[in-house]
Chains A and B, each alone.
Chain A
Amino acid sequence: MSVMKDRIYPVVFMAVITAICIALVSGVFLSTQELVIRNETLYLKRAVLYAAGIKVPENGPEAARVFDERVREVKTQAEQKSAVPETLYYEIVSLGGSIDGYVIETYGPGLWGEIGAVIGFHPDLRTMMGIDFIKQNETPGLGARITESWFKEQFRGKTGPFVMVEEGRSSKPNEVDAITGATRTSAFVLKIINGGSLEVEGLIERGGPHGS
């Protein structure tokens, strides 16, 4: 009998503890889920505004308000099969109502995983409004420096396709500073940006005539 007890008791105990722990974690997770989703959307909205060269307010609701005012989401059309319309690209509208530019969300391979970026283009679809990175796992201190503002800011107003030059040496409108010690990350980023310029054309075509 006691052998049985010795064997079963730990298993039962473990099961009870596990159940309690999982219940606790699930409860907290579910109660914060809404907030997490809101954070994620806000994060994307901020990135879009940054890529469009619009000053992003510190305060969350304020940023969301500016986003609603200046950005129009263009989704896949209703007749297409997908049940949930996906966002194709974002149109940046000036306060007067004219289109200032387009922002797309795009992904490409990086050294250590996917790099996600939002890139803004002026209406000529060649000149960049700006870029922000929404996802990256590059090497801290090296490749991860793509998220530093000097790197992102240098793209504003430049026209692709871009070529990389040594850090601190760029002078022509199609030259960008690479990151010293992170040549490959820089190359991946460049590939994403140069690809983005082609991608945006296709997306706008798919979005079809609307609102212009």
Chain B
Amino acid sequence: MSTTLAVPVTIFFASIFTNNILLANYLGMCSFLSVSREIKTSVGLGIAVTFVMATTSLLNWLVYHYILIPLNLDYLRFIVFIMVIAAFVQIVEMIIERVSEGLYASLGIFLPLITVNCAILGVSLFMVIRDYDLLSSFLFGFGSGLGWFLAIMAMAGIRQKLKRAQIPRGLEGAGITLIITGMMALAFMGFAGILNIT
């Protein structure tokens, strides 16, 4: 039946728009607030997050379903997931460092930031709680990464314009960013009607 493919695809688009990991689940705020000042760095971090999120959701799904569940160790999943993520990030950092100097300079610096990005761990935890299958999990991770990327890009663009605006002093920095994020969340809620699975 077509539903076998329809569900993962819907999850993919929903995780970008209607249930954006940042705007609807509040995950990944720390680096979002600190990095969104510049478009260029935002793009770098966005790509890195998308890549790590898609890959770790896949890895963690395999680890969870083929190692933790059969061994009845699913209560250890927090430790195992975060370790998989930390180890993966470390390996990627090492590979990038050896393979391409340019890529390392533009992307590598963001990698340590990623381990502590709660959105990455969040994706792995959500996929377990929601009982996703392998394909759904991967698309969920990938979509969430893209959604995060989209949000941070939009924010960086807006903040660039804001530099010339007069903002009440108390709201400068984090305050105004949060208000704009709130408005973006409202706008993204408007996407709610576009997805239909029946």
Asked if A and B form a direct contact in the complex, defined as CB atoms under 8 angstroms apart, the reply is yes
User: Does B197 belong to the interface (CB within 8 Å)?
Assistant: yes
Q: Please tell me if the beta carbons of A25 and B76 are within 8 angstroms of each other in the complex.
A: yes
Is B24 on the interface with A (CB-CB < 8 A)? yes
User: CB-defined interface of A14-47 with B at 8 Å, one 1/0 digit per residue?
Assistant: 0000000110011001000000000000000000
Residues of B within 8 Å of A22, CB to CB, are 76, 79
Q: Are B7 and A29 in contact (CB under 8 A)?
A: no
* B192 within 8 Å of A (CB atoms): yes
Q: Distance (Å) between the CB of B24 and the closest chain A CB?
A: 7
B164 at the interface (CB under 8 A from A): no
CB <8 Å contact, B75 and A139:
no
| Chain A 61-105 interface 0/1 with B at a Cβ cutoff of 8 Å (1 = within) | 000000000000000000000000000000000000000000000
- Number of A interface residues in the complex (CB < 8 A): 17
Contact with B along A105-121 (1 / 0, CB 8 A): 00001011110000000
Q: Which residues of chain A are near B131, meaning CB under 8 Å? A: 113-114
By beta carbon, the residue of chain B nearest A142 is B192
CB distance from A143 to the nearest CB of B (A): 10
Q: Which of B7, B19, B75 contacts A25 (CB 8 A)?
A: B75
Q: Which of B75, B79, B130, B197 contacts A21 (CB 8 A)?
A: B79
Instruction: Assess whether B7 is in contact with A112, with CB atoms less than 8 Å apart.
Output: no
B198 at the A/B interface (Cβ < 8 Å)? yes
Does B129 lie at the interface of the complex (its beta carbon under 8 Å from any beta carbon of A)?
Answer: yes
Q: Is the CB of A184 within 8 A of B197?
A: yes
* Residue pair A112, B79 in contact (C-beta under 8 Å): no
How many positions in chain B have a CB within 8 Å of any CB in the partner chain? Answer: 18
* Contact indicator A137/B129 (Cβ below 8 Å): yes
Task: List chain A residues, Cβ under 8 A from B7.
Answer: 109
CA gap between A113 and B131 in the complex, in Å: 7
A residues near B, CB below 8 A?
Answer: 21-22, 25-26, 29, 109, 111-114, 137, 139, 142, 181, 183-184, 187
20 residue pairs from A and B, CB less than 8 Å apart: A21-B79, A22-B76, A22-B79, A25-B75, A25-B76, A26-B76, A29-B75, A109-B7, A112-B19, A113-B129, A113-B130, A114-B130, A137-B129, A139-B19, A139-B24, A181-B189, A181-B192, A184-B195, A184-B196, A187-B198
Contacts beyond the supplied A181-B192, A184-B197: 19 A-B pairs with Cβ under 8 Å:
A22-B76, A22-B79, A25-B75, A25-B76, A26-B76, A29-B75, A109-B7, A109-B197, A111-B197, A112-B130, A113-B129, A113-B131, A113-B132, A114-B131, A137-B129, A139-B19, A139-B24, A181-B189, A187-B198
Closest 5 interchain pairs by CB?
A113-B130, A29-B75, A137-B130, A112-B130, A113-B131
